[in-house]
Amino acid sequence: MKTGKSYLKLLGALVLGGIIGGALSMMVFLQYDQIIHVAMGAERILDHIGIVIEGILVLGFVTVVTILYFYSRSLWKKEEAAMDEEADLYGEKFEKWSQIGVTVSEIAAGSIIIIGFLTLSPDFPNGNLALAGTFLTNTSIMLIGAIYMAIIEIMYYHLIQKRDPQKKGDPSSFSFNKKWLASCDETEKMVIYQAGYKGFSVMQILVLAGIVIAGIGKFDFGTGNFPIVLLGIVWIGGNLTFGRKKMRGLRK
């Protein structure tokens, strides 16, 4: 009985997905001219003030992550100076805000790179000094912003290690995640495992939805196969990695 319900749920999900996909495709078809108009308008805005938008974004992210870092650092200092319950309270706040800082710096790095590439002109500035200057400025802002986010994230991890010397690993090395996880206690590992599985599950849905949208884009906007292939590789690679790691764990 339960197996039959599972098949019915799967069939219902497939039918619902087909209906949603068809409705989206029809909506895009009916609003094609308006969508193209909006897209071209957005592209013109990026061409004219892309540097300004990117600069404001980088400056905003730099300000936020820096403030969060020094706030987390102040909580650690207060925890060291406090006693008993007050120290525990500051410790909990430190763990919360330092993790927020790490997450924001990671999101900021990705956002800066995405916006940076969106503002770059697809026409390489061959001999055009004005276009070359714009290209160089955009690239420099993107790289400076991304590098700063990487540095501040390393600083966050060093701060956490100063508070808890048991935490191991060099944040700039490829083996950091493995060493960091090994140095966590069982409760921390469980939290990381649960967060990782939840993140993987959500990413599965988002990438699959992206593949469907890329398919609609291929037929309605002529975006070609590249977005579909790229997202498909990400989706398959993520599932293969998860499945392989899971099977290794079950063998143990």
pLDDT of residue 99: 93
User: Where do the H-state alpha helices sit in 31-83?
Assistant: 32-81
pLDDT 10s digits, 102-142: 999 999 999 999 988 888 876 666 666 667 777 888 889 99
Which position has the token pair 């200057």?
A: 133
pLDDT of residue 145: 95
pLDDT of residue 42: 72
Query: What would the two tokens of residue 179 be?
Result: 């060493």
pLDDT of residue 89: 93
One-letter amino acid for residue 68 of the chain: L
pLDDT of residue 32: 66
pLDDT of residue 155: 95
Q: At what angle do helices 32-81 and 84-119 cross, to 10 degrees?
A: 150
Residue ranges of the chain with pLDDT lower than 50? 1
pLDDT of residue 48: 74
CB 160 within 8 A of CB 184: no
Name, in order, each residue with C-beta under 8 angstroms of 19's C-beta and a sequence gap of 6 or more: none
Q: At what angle do helices 186-221 and 226-251 cross, to 10 degrees?
A: 150
pLDDT of residue 248: 78
Q: Where are the domains of the chain?
A: 16-174, 185-252
Rounded Cα distance, 133 and 112, in Å: 19
Q: At what angle do helices 186-221 and 2-30 cross, to 10 degrees?
A: 40
Name, in order, each residue with C-beta under 8 angstroms of 195's C-beta and a sequence gap of 6 or more: none
pLDDT of residue 75: 94
pLDDT of residue 245: 82
